[in-house]
Every structure is written in structure tokens, then in C-alpha cells.
Structure 1
Amino acid sequence: MPSNRKTLIILSAVGVAMLGVGFASDPLYDTFCKVTGYGGTPKIADDNLSEVLDRTVTVEFDSNVAQDLPWKFKADQRRMDVQLGQSGLAYYTVKNTSDEALTGVANFNVMPIKAAPFFVKTDCFCFEEQTIQPGAEMSLPVIFFVDPQLDEDKRLDDVKTITLSYTFFPAEKGTLSAPEPAAQTVPATN
């Protein structure tokens, strides 16, 4: 009987450990991708303190919306030439075509993947959820630069064009409505 108890304790500990790893894997993977640029995830920076080089790359802008989010979303410019280290400012426009307020979140990707660690966003609408009222349209900015260290890696000499792609998804499963205004209480008069 003691051997069965020992086996049960070991299996329970393994199960709890696997459950913990399962919950921790998504945030750990996201952090890994942001730090390394793995999987086309660009770096995020606070300030652009880099030097500007003569080398120029073309940044193309792509926009998509998930099927279950009734929004129109487009880049205001199709492409932009920037020097390595130079800040770029691009705008996207999003419109809620439904008859209710909806909240969405934009996921992003950079192609080619090998250039992703060098694409740095200093400010972006994708850093937080966007709530848009019915029929409303918003202009959404993104400020970025391409790290001059891209020029130091000879494997990246062929990178002439970088595509920044966004896809908007509903912030939660289904649609979200704007919160109802709180009821106001009026104090009774004597």
C-alpha cells in the first residue's frame, strides 16, 4: 500500500507541474518573441536613440480584420521609404460598420521574419484595445524605426522591403458592447 501512495503523490505532483507549465507557457512565449523577434514579432522601444544610416528600406503596410469583427481597416499609405535609424510615422484608419460599440485588439507581424528583430515600434495602437462606437471611424498611428544594426549582419543585405502587417480581432469571444451608463441616485428631499 505505501508504494501506491508514493506513486499517487508523484503522479499528482507531475500533474500539478504540467498544469503550471501550461498556464505559464503563453506569457513566457510572448516574452521570448518580444525580446528576440522570433516568429516575426517586432521589438518595442521607449525611445529612438539610434544613429541614422544612409541605407534605406521600404516599409509596406498591410491591414486585415477577422471575419467575426464587422470593421473596415486600411493603411492610409501603402509604403514608405525610411533610412535605418530614422523614425517613421504611419497611419491606419478603422471604421466600425456595425450598429453597436465593439472592442478589438490588433495583432502584428513583420516579414521577412529575419528582419523582425530590427523593426522597433516606439508607439502603436496595437499596444492596447480599441473601442469604436457604431459607425465611428478612427485614425490610428504607429511610430517605428528600423534598427541600424540590420546593416551589420551580412545575411540581411538582401532585405530591401519590410512588411508590417496588422490583423484586428474581437477583444474577447463574441462582440463587446459599450458599458451601460451607471444609474444616478437623487438624494431625497425632506
Structure 2
Amino acid sequence: MHEERGRKNKRVGIMLGGLAFGMVGLAFASVPLYQLFCQVTGYGGTTQVASDNPKGVIAREMTTRFDVNVDTDLSWTVQAAKPIKDQIGRVDTVNYIATNNSDKPVTGQAIFNVVPEKAGVYFNKIECFCFTEQTLQPGETVEMPIVFFVDPDLDKNHELATVKEITLSYTFYASDNEGS
């Protein structure tokens, strides 16, 4: 009787330990899974990554505006690219310009979003500086290119039929890594 009870307790203990281990694993996996979800659905204005535009260009035009915010802990000045108006599907290149205003190397990073959020799934970046740490030397100024296009399938989404403007916004913040 005690042996049977011991085996049951051991089985329950193993199951609870496995459950706890699985929950810890899910906690660590939640960020990449959420990021994957956002990339697939465009949720939260998350853009897509592409190598080129296989769908071509359509006649409808779209203005893309660029915005920038810099966290107070980052001693950089960042200038957003000027707005551009182009046909949907056309691949365009713009540059943000960043300057390190301090007397030491400073490492920063950028995160982004697209407004309106529903347009995020149609905004494709071929090249981008986002999520890549950048170290700028004292007083250094660099151009940070973005190569992108708006997917022509946006034109088929009736919810976005009246949208004439998309805003790509970057927030720059200091990286935990010190400059090199």
C-alpha cells in the first residue's frame, strides 16, 4: 500500500516538475513567439522582411513619413528621413542620420513600428538598421539606410482603401553594451 502510494506521489511529483519546467521554457520562448506572431500578422505595426518585391508596382501612390524618438539616456541626435511619395510596390531607399554628441563611444539600438498598425503587414524592409546595435565614436555621424517597399496587396485590403499615408517610426535607446 505504501509502495503504491509512493509511486503515485513520485509520478505526480514528476508531472508537476515537468509542468514547472515547461512553464519556464514557455516564459523564455514567449518573446520570440510574440515577435513571430507580430511579424506574421503585422500586429502592432510590425513590418515584414523581404529580399525584393516580386509583385511589381501598381498605380496607387502612398506617402511614407518617417519619425524618430531618442531616449534621454542615449546621447545621440537622430534626424529622420524626409517623407516620400511613390507608387505602391516601388523599392525606395531613405537614410536616417545619427550623431554621437558625447566624448566617448556610445552604443545604441532602435525599435520601430508602423502606423496605421494594419498597414504594418504590408510594409516590407529589405535593409534596415533596426535591432542591430550601432556604436558611434565621439562626434561621429553616420547614415543609417532603410530600403523598403509597400506590398501591392495593400490595395486589396478594403480597410486600407482610404489610407494615403504610412508612418514608420523609430525609437532609439542606449544599449546595455558599452561603446567599443
Q: Do Structure 1 and Structure 2 share a fold, with TM-score over 0.5? A: yes
Question: Which segment drifts farther, 29-38 or 79-88?
Answer: 29-38
Question: Who is 2:100 aligned against?
Answer: 96
**SS of the counterpart of 1:73?**
strand
Q: 2:86 aligns with which of 61, 77, 82?
A: 82
Report what 2:77 is aligned to: 72
- Shift of the alpha carbon at 1:106? 1.0
Corresponding residue of 1:158: 162
Does 1:176 find its partner at 2:178?
yes
Equivalent residues in 2 for 1:98-177 (5 A)?
A: 98-126=102-130, 128-172=132-176, 176-177=178-179
Percent identity between matched residues is: 45
1:81-131 Cα distance to aligned partner (Å, 9 max, x none):
021101111111111111111111111100000111001111112252211
Structure 2: distance between partners of 1:76 and 1:164: 10
In structure 2, what is the Cα distance between the partners aligned to 1:124 and 1:10? 45
Number of residue equivalences: 175
What's 2:12 paired with? 7
Q: Distance in 2 between matches of 1:36 and 1:105?
A: 24
Question: 1:109-166 deviations in whole A, cap 9, x for unaligned?
Answer: 0000011100111111225221100111111111111110001111110211100001
Partner of 2:34: 29
- Aligned partners of 2:138 and 2:53: how far apart in 1? 36
Q: Structure 1 stretch 92-101 or stretch 126-135: which is displaced more?
A: 126-135
* Alignment partners' CA distance in 1, 2:179 and 2:145: 24
Alignment root-mean-square deviation, CA: 1.4
Inter-partner Cα distance in structure 2 for 1:34 and 1:102: 29
User: Matched residues in 1 for 2:130 and 2:91: separation?
Assistant: 18
Question: CA deviation digits over 1:157-186, x for unaligned, max 9?
Answer: 0211100001112222xx5131xxxxxxxx
Alignment of 1:31-50 (within 5 A): 31-50=36-55
Question: TM-score, length-normalised on structure 1?
Answer: 0.86
Residue 115 of structure 1 aligns to a residue in which SS?
Answer: helix
State the one-letter code of the partner of 2:54: L
